[in-house]
Structure 1
Amino acid sequence: MTYLFPNYSRKPIEFIKGEKNHLFDKNGKKYLDFTSGIGVMNLGYDHPLINQALQKQAAEIWHTPNLYENSLQEEAAKLLAGEQDYLAYFCNSGAEANEAAIKLARKATGRSKIITFEQSFHGRTFGAMSATGQAAIHRGFYPLLPEFVYVPFNSMEMLKRELDQHTAAVMLELIQGEGGVIPAEEEWIKELAEICEKNGSLLIVDEVQTGIGRTGTFYASEAYGIEPDIITLAKGLGNGFPVGAMLGKGKYADVFQAGSHGSTFGGNKLGMAVAGKVVELVRNPEFLAEADKKGTAAIESLKNKLADNSVVVDVRGKGLMIGIQLTDSQLVGEALEQLEQKGIMVLKAGTTVLRLLPPLTITETELSEGIEIICQVLEELAYV
């Protein structure tokens, strides 16, 4: 008997311990983690410096409401902004960050229409779900919030047709995660940013999954050479502690005055202590360069090893966000099952893609070991 709603499809595994880049279930079985808890544990498990930051703050004070100053929020916001002119709003999740982004865009522009993309994913709260371009996620919850328009990804024709004087923002992921690990084309993104600016529409980049070093740069938008009006973050920001953030350009400071938006737990002391330490560690240029190097090597290795595999359609991604597209969805299920048995945890994206999101701290040896087992399983499936 369970006292939980069955809104998750759960595997009969319970992890009770994490150690660096490995997980241990309650039966003592060890797994090499290529999921990072769905892109969350970018710095792996049981990281001593993050543990220390959390424990130190827990011994002092856990929570103060946002009625008072919070120096930990200021410190984390400064680290997230880096050299750019961004202000931060802190919340508890990616969906909440996207809700804040939608509100800021509409209030800043006085417009209501928001363009997003087919196969996108922005969360499951009502605004974030309405921004998500997947009918399967909408099913059963109609009517959605009005004035969200979905257009094809990596295509200009319909985007230009829909972008008008009523468009508050264009909102997208630079690599569609849940949709199948689909990277945006660089020239398309640059043109998109230009036409948004000309039209007075804000560019919102959802970096909930691609941010905090996942793609080899601190923000994926850096590699694309763009500076979004709004960036949303979560997942890797807290390395397992629930924390999200929306960054908006400083010129929008007057838009979010007192009472415009808020969160009781957003920016709580524990979350800020952790987030500050995570950003400090990940934003190290040497660390990011190493993560990028490992990701590039992993993608190249997978492409070479799987080039002649009859069940593999494509290998794509950036940094340590990698998708292996297979010929059908049944094969994905079989691959996940076999990899799990062999002690490798990976994810599904879309219907036909294996998604690899190992911790950025994974060693080259561990990465090679995991890739070898993945390729072995896919080779076996090709000959079934």
Structure 2
Amino acid sequence: MEFDRAGVRALMEITQRPELVFVRGQGSWLEDHSGKRYLDMIQGWAVNSLGHSPLSVVKAMAEQSATLMNPSPAFYNQPSIELAKRIVQNSCFDRVFFANSGAEANEGAIKLARKWGQIHKEGAYKIITFNHSFHGRTLATMSASGKPGWDRLFAPQVEGFPKAELNDLDSVAALIDNSTVAIMLEPVQGEAGVIPATDEFMQGLRELADQHKLLLIVDEVQTGMGRTGTLFAYEHSGIRPDIMTLGKGIGAGVPLAALCAREEVSCFQHGDQGGTYNGNPVMAAAGVAVFDELTSPGFLTAVNARAQQLSEGLEAISAKWGMHGERGTGLLRALMLDQDDGPALVNAARERSPEGLLLNAPRPNLLRFMPALNVTAEEVDLLLAWLDELLTQVRG
């Protein structure tokens, strides 16, 4: 198959893409239009929790689409009920609203927190977020994000998101005033370079929120659904958040996200929240298949085994090459380079022959790894061997 340059020009230009078109994928492997295979350690930015085209999800979607695709969100459908039940039964939350993307779920969390502030805190609306955080690409979620430079894009930004420093409780406390309604954070800052919030910090935020009658919101769009070795990342610190958002891995590759809240926080009135595709039965059926696989006996045990293997392997590479170590939680990890050759390594990995490797460098001095949660031990070994080979190639 030839690369269709004329066809590509019909797509809106939003990012620089290499001249290849992926045509099929299975598990941890992708194949492009020329037949070249790639070991995928990005997986749609932690989206494909079960790898490419997992059979359980394909089967669930095929069966559901042949039965009922969209009855309208004005009516109940069984797959959305089944998925909501599973989330509630396996978390500290009581209510779930389904959306199409993590940004949309986060937008819903912001709305819910501000609604709660109108009812319970005399109109308090400010939500403390964190420098270098990433919550999405809508105007409100961009404003909530602490990504450098985003305060100058699409101005004016949405007001009401003062920024604290991750793992610095005093910086959070200093921002609290009578207009503050919530604290919102990623348990692991992914786009910032895989920086985990410490358990002590998470516990301190819960205490601070309780002390000032604030809501604690965890954005688990990237960390939720088994990514960190527990079903939800907040479980590591033993806290009980008030609101949680899910996305990416919950659908294992299809557009699905969730806004989850405790009963006492679920204060939307009819008409406050909605969406044409919320709780779509085909997407929800996919979510049920994903959830059942992630919670099957031994699945998360295997995730933690692969996480330890990857962590130890990256640490060994770091020691060999005089780098700055590795960090992360579960199968969301980063190798901290000692120079800014992350982009060069990404390019060399993709162009590797006869088989390529897909890597991600959210910072020039860092590589991020987000493999499928069911990646095999052999595939992790292959990644580590190829990475060492690529470092020799790029660094001479």
Structure 1 residues 5, 138: closer, same or farther in 2, change over 3 A?
A: farther
Q: How does 1:219-298 map to 2 (within 5 A)?
A: 219-253=232-266, 255-298=267-310
Compute the displacement of 1:185 (Å). Answer: 1.4
Contact 2:343 2:364 survives alignment (8 Å): no
Structure 1 residues 169, 337: closer, same or farther in 2, change over 3 A?
A: same
Q: Does 1:65 align with 2:81?
A: no
Using the TM superposition, name which of 88-97 and 190-199 deviates more.
190-199
**Aligned with 1:29 (options 31, 36, 44):** 36
User: 1:241 is aligned with what amino acid?
Assistant: V
Contact 2:242 2:265 survives alignment (8 Å): no
Compute the displacement of 1:4 (Å). Answer: 2.4
Contact 1:91 1:265 survives alignment (8 Å): yes
Q: What does residue 53 of structure 2 align with?
A: 46
Compute the displacement of 1:379 (Å). Answer: 4.3
Q: What does residue 329 of structure 2 align with?
A: 318
Alignment size in residue pairs: 380
Q: Does 1:137 align with 2:150?
A: yes
**Aligned with 2:20 (options 10, 13, 31):** 13
Cα deviation code 1:197-222 (max 9, x no counterpart):
21111111111011111111111111
**Aligned with 1:75 (options 72, 82, 92):** 82
User: 2:325 is aligned with what amino acid?
Assistant: D
Distance 1:225 1:297 in 2: 25
Distance 2:311 2:237 in 1: 19
**Seq. identity, %:** 35
Q: What does residue 349 of structure 2 align with?
A: 339
SS at match of 2:380: helix
Contact 1:101 1:230 survives alignment (8 Å): yes
Q: What does residue 101 of structure 1 align with?
A: 109
Compute the displacement of 1:177 (Å). Answer: 0.5
Distance 2:307 2:149 in 1: 31
Query: Considering only aligned residues, what root-mean-square deviation do their CA atoms show, in Å?
Result: 1.4
SS at match of 2:184: strand
Structure 1 stretches of 5 or more lacking a match? none
**TM-score using structure 2 length:** 0.93
Contact 2:29 2:37 survives alignment (8 Å): yes
Contact 1:282 1:288 survives alignment (8 Å): yes
Structure 1 residues 112, 351: closer, same or farther in 2, change over 3 A?
A: farther
Using the TM superposition, name which of 27-36 and 351-360 deviates more.
351-360
Distance 1:87 1:328 in 2: 46
Cα deviation code 1:332-376 (max 9, x no counterpart):
111001111221111122342211101011110111111121123
Distance 2:27 2:305 in 1: 19
Contact 2:309 2:380 survives alignment (8 Å): no
Contact 1:180 1:351 survives alignment (8 Å): no
Compute the displacement of 1:285 (Å). Answer: 4.4
Compute the displacement of 1:164 (Å). Answer: 2.6
Q: Does 1:368 align with 2:381?
A: yes
User: 2:100 is aligned with what amino acid?
Assistant: N
Q: What does residue 189 of structure 1 align with?
A: 202
Contact 1:164 1:199 survives alignment (8 Å): no
Contact 1:302 1:375 survives alignment (8 Å): no
Using the TM superposition, name which of 43-52 and 167-176 deviates more.
43-52
Compute the displacement of 1:39 (Å). Answer: 0.6
Distance 1:169 1:285 in 2: 36
Compute the displacement of 1:313 (Å). Answer: 2.2
Distance 2:159 2:106 in 1: 16
Using the TM superposition, name which of 24-33 and 153-162 deviates more.
153-162
User: 1:288 is aligned with what amino acid?
Assistant: L
Distance 1:167 1:201 in 2: 7
**Aligned with 2:97 (options 82, 89, 92):** 89
Q: Does 1:348 align with 2:361?
A: yes
Distance 2:306 2:181 in 1: 38
Contact 1:116 1:150 survives alignment (8 Å): yes
Contact 2:318 2:324 survives alignment (8 Å): no
Compute the displacement of 1:167 (Å). Answer: 1.1
Cα deviation code 1:92-151 (max 9, x no counterpart):
000000000000011112211111001000000011111000133343311101111111
